[in-house]
Amino acid sequence: MDFDLFVIGGGSAGVRCARIAASHGARVGVAEERFWGGTCVNIGCVPKKFMVMASEYGASAEDARGFGWDITKNGHGWGTLMAAKDKEIARLNEIYLRLLDQAGAQIFNARATFIDDHTLDVGGQRVTAERIVIATGGHPTRLDIPGAELGIVSDDAFYLKEMPKRVAIIGSGYIGVEFAGIFAGLGAETHLIYRQPLPLRGFDEDLRVGLAEAMAANGVILHPDMVPTSVVQENGAYHLALSDLTVLEVDLVFFATGRAPNIKGLGLEKIGVETGRLGEILVDKTFATSVPHIYALGDVTDRLNLTPVATAEGHALADSLFGNNPRSVSQENVATAVFSIPPIGTVGMTEAEAAKRGPAKIFLTRFTPMRHNISGRPRKTMMKLIVDQATVAINAGATKADFDRTIGIHPTAAEEFVTLRTQTRVVGEDSTAE
């Protein structure tokens, strides 16, 4: 075989797996057809965070007046932001390549597809490998409605030539709420359309309520319980029709309506790698597919689509195969953040999930943070603890008593977590006994 391990995909999972496997002495090849660093570095977390930061500076300039600063806002330079973003992304691309090269992996700037279960076509070159890793990530999807091709998806948002003055964002998951905050913060009339009563389906109900309130306060125009039905282009604008017969006239329609695994054209069907209903590659706890020497990592498995999870999976697989250290990655109690404005951080079960398992105590606080007592901005901070009445609640074994005896850092918002003394409510099967 040409390689002990060949990795298809140069994103977070693939690069980490290839680099660590090579550092353990394996002969490693890695192919990437688009850009090194994958979605996160190029058209995801990293550039999106830069755009969130940019949008927050406008609000900060306004808030500064309450602290004695006279800052004049002269409008935002979209081109300047995009150029700075592109420069930083290019630097990160080079870092990914350098790390692989220094580890001794062979780099292929090409598409890789299966010829058979040990053989790949890599940019026209025939390559064999004892083990193969599929880490091809995912791609954004549009709704199947008339005129959908007139809208953009998240990939396109990072290459817009100019800032839209009016934008309609369809969908209220991570991507939808984050870009709503970005565009509204940069001065666009921003509409957020979603079919649920609240944004961020699957998150804790109190968080969802708090975010909806905060987004409305930031000027985002919310359209809950609404489904888009068509997009039409007329007179240089887009007309987005909604299920209540409302028609929004905007300069940009943005579909933030989900993602799907990148498996098209890989040739999985000819080698017997099983996939699920949505095209996700099915794996066991060792990341092995239905073909034992072929593995899959990260978003292409569509389990917990977070960059740190993908990176951890890549490292664990490399250690297991070549580092004499077999291990897996737990997907329980993984912390996650949503870079909405204001941002959300959460870990563990939601209140609804906890209630299904038995009685749980709820501790909840909402307050105006120090900064906005002076700035005057109507923004609240919300903190919530969900405590299992019967046993420990999180991986570290922390109990409510551990929080209570921790000395907080003053003055910070974080200290609120260790001063939550008053129980808000009890939920779950035995809550009536409380």
* C-alpha span between 371 and 379 (Å, rounded): 10
Kindly state the tokens that stand for 402: 């551990």
- Give kind and range of the element (H or E) at residue 144: none
The answer for residues whose C-beta is within 8 angstroms of residue 173's C-beta and 6 or more apart is 200, 201, 256, 258
* C-alpha span between 222 and 215 (Å, rounded): 8
- Exposed/middle/buried for residue 169 (C-beta within 10 Å: 0-12, 13-18, 19+): buried
Helices and strands (DSSP H and E) totals, the chain: 12, 21
What angle do the packed helices 78-103 and 45-63 form, to 10 degrees? Answer: 140
Kindly state the tokens that stand for 373: 């007592």
What are the CA-CA distances from residue 20 to residues 36, 256, 325 (Å)?
16, 34, 12
Amino acid symbol at 294:
I
Question: What DSSP string describes 136-186?
Answer: --EEE---SSTTGGGSB-HHHHTT-SS--SEEEEE--SHHHHHHHHHHHHT
| Residue 317 φ/ψ, nearest 5 degrees | -65, -45
Closest CA to 6 of 139, 125, 91, 94: 125
* C-alpha span between 31 and 115 (Å, rounded): 15
The total number of residues written for the chain in this structure: 434
Question: Which of 139, 191, 293, 410 is labelled catalytic?
Answer: 410
Asked about 410 being catalytic, the answer comes back as yes
Q: Which 3 state secondary structure label does DSSP give 311?
A: helix
Q: By the 8 A CB rule, do 310 and 13 touch?
A: yes
Active site residues: 410
